[in-house]
Every structure is written in structure tokens, then in C-alpha cells.
Amino acid sequence: MSKLKEKVERETTEIKKRVRAVSTTRLVLLGIMLVITILSYVFYENLFSSDPTVNWFLNPNTVDPSDPNSTATPGTGSLFLDDLIMTVPTIIKCIQSVTILLLIVTVATLIIVKICGKTQRGITVSSLIRSLINWVTAIVLIIIVLSAFGVDTTALITGAGVLTLIVGLGMQSLIADIVAGLFIVFENEFNVGDYVTVGDFRGEVISIGIRTTKLKAVGNVKIINNSDLRGVINHDTDVSTAKCLIDVEYDAKLPEVEKIIKKQVSKLKVEHATDEVVYDGVASLGASGVTLQFTCHCKEADIFAANRELNAAVKNMFDENGIGIPFPQIVVHKG
């Protein structure tokens, strides 16, 4: 349990580092936007007032007192610069809305990481929720910016709904990936940090996203669509078993060999094993010798290291006690 706890803590730390790496730039930008937003509310009248004597961006000389419909406009003498200056209040309104939204999203993300980042399942759920939040935030930001510039977002949203229906019919695989990802998380089939086998690829789950799942093994990352995850073998549902199969000569007396093994097997040391090495008996009768089986339990993450250590420990025990390991033999009969 201590090793599992260490593993979860290590994965949690890694995720927090990645969040911090992304958040550093994000927080700097958010800080700048927050300062602009605060200043915009402090000087609200100077930015958004329709009174040209108060608004910094309007020229009171452009107002015709005799014409009630006359409005103030910038008076730089350049049509391009006048239009550019007129967009400044709109841009500031965009920054206000975007800042408030990003502030809420950032705080929510940090809370999710803090609350969920304590277990493997929590890390998995956190990863999926943050992925969903990013997608929703991007869509809302687009709507906010377009709305600030006078685009009819109601018609846009209605049109987007119809467009989504049309596109959805042609993007059934994407929808299948999203639905499969949700079922993977909420049915707890496997979590971030688990070791799984998909097809002929065995690796550690490093990410479960809204569309894909990533497995890592020997420095390689395999990206699999969630809808393609079939026949998954989860190796972390129980402790794994490291196995050693070793031959002894047919000429050796099996009862004597087993007597030596039973005395020495408890002394075998396997660093990555979670319990003692066990002698299971005769596994098979090979072409050149009798195959004996030794096993020990270990974490799936340590399965290969435990196998190597078990093989070395059994070989050393055989050498120290004079138990011969046969070479391949061929018997030729002459008629």
C-alpha cells in the first residue's frame, strides 16, 4: 500500500507541475487583463460615457449643438485612426468579460486539481473535467467577443445548433469517442496511472481525454481513440505475479532437489516483490530437463524488474547448491 501511495503522490505531483507550467503564462496574462479590467471600472465614465466632455475617446468639437442627432466622434483627421480609436472601448469591454470568465475558470481548475488530485480515479476525473472546461471556455469566449462587436449571437447560436446537428451526422466517430470516454471514467474501468494492455501494446495510462486515451511505454506514447478501446486488460486490478521457469537435469534426483529448494527458497531476496518467493513445483517436462516454477507477487509497474531479479536469485541458488541446469540435448538413434 505504501508503494501505491507513493505512486499516486508522484503522479499527483507531476500533474500539478504540468498545471503550474501552463498556469504560469496564463496567470501572467490574466494578471495583466485583471489590472486593465480594474482600471476600466475605475475610469468607467471616461471610457464609456456618451458625453464627449468626459469621454477620452470622443472629440466634443465634432458635436453640432443645433443638431440633436449629432454624435461625438474622434477628431484625428484620419478616418482609419478614428475608426481604430472608436473600437478601444469595445476591446476593453471584451477584456472585462474575458477576464472575469478566465478568472472563474482558473479558480475552478485549481479547486478541481486540489480536491480530485488525491487518488488515481480523482486524477482521471480531474483530467476529463479540465478538458471539458477548456472546450466550453473556448466556445463561450468566441460568443462573448462576437457579441461585444455587435454580432447577433442569438442567431449564431441557433445556426450553430442546426449546424451541429448536420455536422454530428457526419462526425459519428467523434461522438462515439466522447461517449466512450465518459463511460470509461464513470464506470471506473481504468484510471490514470494504471497499466493496461490494448491489443498488442502494454503501457501506463498517462491521460484520459474527452476524445483520446494516451498510453506510455519505453519512452513511446500510443494515442488511441476512446471508441477503439476494446478488450482492454487492466493489470492494476490486483497484484501481478513475476514468474521464473528454470530447468534441472533429468539425471538429478527430483526429491533431493526439491528438498534443497524448500530449505533455500525463503532466503531468496527479490527487491521489487511484495511477498516471499514461492516454489510452485514442476511446471512441465521439457525436451532437455524438468522445468520448475518459482513465483512472487509484485506491483504491475515493477513486473519486469521483479522477473529479472527472480531469475537471478533462483540461478544463484542453483549454483550455490550444485543443482545443474541442462544444455539443450539431442538424442540420435541409429537403426
54 or 224, which is more confident? Answer: 224
Report whether pLDDT(35) > 60.
Answer: yes
**Do 103 and 13 sit in the same domain of this protein?**
yes
User: At 272, is the secondary structure helix, strand, or coil?
Assistant: coil
What's the CA gap between 239 and 196, in Å, rounded? 13
Q: Are residues 142 and 14 in the same domain?
A: yes
- Per the domain annotation, does 327 fall within a domain? no
Would residue 83 count as lying in a domain? yes
Asked whether the predicted pLDDT for residue 315 surpasses 90, the reply is yes
Any idea how long the chain is? 335
The number of folded domains in the chain is: 3
Same domain assignment for residues 96 and 61: yes
The Cα 196–Cα 176 span in angstroms is 21
In-domain check, residue 129: yes
* Distance separating alpha carbons of residues 293 and 291, to the nearest angstrom: 7
Give me the sign of the Cα torsion angle 126, 129, 134, 137: negative
* Confidence at residue 129, expressed as pLDDT on a 0 to 100 scale: 76
318, 325 Cβ separation under 8 angstroms: yes
Q: Residue 299 belongs to a domain with what CATH number?
A: 3.30.70.100
Q: What is the DSSP letter of 206?
A: E
Task: DSSP for 221-251, please give it.
Answer: EEEEEGGG--S-EETTSS-EEEEEEEEE-TT
* Dist. CA 271–CA 37, nearest whole Å: 58
Q: What is the CATH number of the domain that holds 189?
A: 2.30.30.60
Q: Please state the pTM of the whole predicted model.
A: 0.48
**What are the distances in angstroms from CA 267 to CA 271, 278, 294, 304, 322?**
12, 11, 13, 21, 17
Question: What is the CB-side half-sphere exposure of residue 195 using CA atoms within 13 A?
Answer: 17
CB 242 within 8 A of CB 306: yes
Q: Say if 94 falls within a structural domain.
A: yes
Torsion, CA 124, CA 125, CA 127, CA 129, rounded to 10: 170
Q: pLDDT (tens digit, 9 = 90+) per residue, 194-214? A: 888 888 888 888 888 778 889
30 has a pLDDT exceeding 70: yes
Chosen domain end from 216, 234, 252:
234
Where in the sequence is the domain holding 301, given as residue range(s)? 240-320
